[in-house]
Amino acid sequence: MSEAGEFQIIEQFFTYPSFGAWKSQGVGDDCAIIDTGAGRLAVTCDMTALGTHFFPDADPEDVGYKALAVNLSDLAAAGAVPRAFFLSIGLPRRDDGWLADFSRGLMALAHESGCALLGGDTTRTPEIDGRHAPATISITAMGDLPAGMGLTRSGAQPGDDIWVSGTVGDAYAALMCRWGRWQVMPDAEPRLFARMDRPTPRIALGQALLGAATACADISDGLLADLDHILTRSCVSAEIEWERIPLSPVLSTLTVARQHEAALAGGDDYELIFTAPPAAAERIFEAGLLSNTPVSRIGRILEREETAVVVRTADGLPVAVPSTGYDHFNAEDPE
């Protein structure tokens, strides 16, 4: 029997109706949106690990920065204002130099985003066959939302436009280059690696989309995989026009097959993918301008069909869709 995937594990073992005094919309969105009685909070928790999310020899300053960035991206997908985070970290040993660099990257983004470190925990990772497991970082981040507001994955409606921020596919292309599978011009590598190592959480854009977007997710597992989360939660389907998907100049130099693989199935971009009615288009462009974030309309939402998403060229020809998205429990290790 094949091992259950990441999202199947969540659905089977950890999805329950909300109960208790703090009501939430439950498991399945980038953030839990909680009405506390005194206000509305968005809360997210993400775990990262050396050897899984980072190369074992990754720059610890980049590790610290990105560990917080992925959580802030979840808050952005909810439209929340970051306020605080809690850090739990497991370490194979005490290494003051590594910790100094890690904390420098972590706190640089914390100060930049106004998200304060308020607590957490430290422990030593378990020993296996005489060696301790690599560093593991868990961050829980919290943000404010206006009363009754907050973006989720479940509001997309047939007829809505599908939008994406920034460009997609660069982080995956960087990974392929580091694995030695792809090549780009040497002067282009730093731009790709920066997208992988220091993603930009689209915090200001998420806040500007409140009241305009109907559904939203951040692109961590891949454009089509994260769009599929919206489609599943909203019980709709989608049609994407390939030429409308925004690619960086570096990615545009690769073969079309690699562009498809990186932009459609690659993850780690931490851009936002969201939906909105056509009447909101002017407001969406304004949100992009106000947040200094490019936004692109790439498709539309359809009534629920047997095929969740179809990608076509401008001429209407179908695009072969690569295997979509990253799943920790179904992923193959790099060769």
Per the annotation, where are the binding residues for ATP?
Answer: 120-121, 153, 220
Strands 272-276 and 215-218: antiparallel
The Cα 43–Cα 277 span in angstroms is 27
Binding residues for substrate: 53, 268, 326
Binding residues for Mg(2+): 30, 44, 46, 74, 121, 218, 221
SS3 52: coil
Can you spell out the DSSP letters for 253-287? GS-HHHHHIIIII------EEEEE-GGGHHHHHHH
Angle at 113 between CA 153 and CA 52, to 5 degrees: 65
What residues form DSSP beta bridges with 121?
Answer: 88
The Cα 212–Cα 202 span in angstroms is 16
The Cα 314–Cα 298 span in angstroms is 11
Binding residues: 30, 44, 46, 53, 74, 120-121, 153, 218, 220-221, 268, 326
Contact of 30 with 218, CB cutoff 8 Å: yes
Q: HSE on the CB side for 96, CA within 13 Å?
A: 0
SS3 164: strand
What residues form DSSP beta bridges with 273?
Answer: 164, 217
The Cα 300–Cα 290 span in angstroms is 24
The Cα 271–Cα 51 span in angstroms is 23
Contact of 80 with 144, CB cutoff 8 Å: yes
Computed on alpha carbons and rounded to an integer, the radius of gyration of the chain in Å comes to 20
The Cα 114–Cα 71 span in angstroms is 13
What residues form DSSP beta bridges with 162?
Answer: 275, 299
Contact of 219 with 283, CB cutoff 8 Å: no
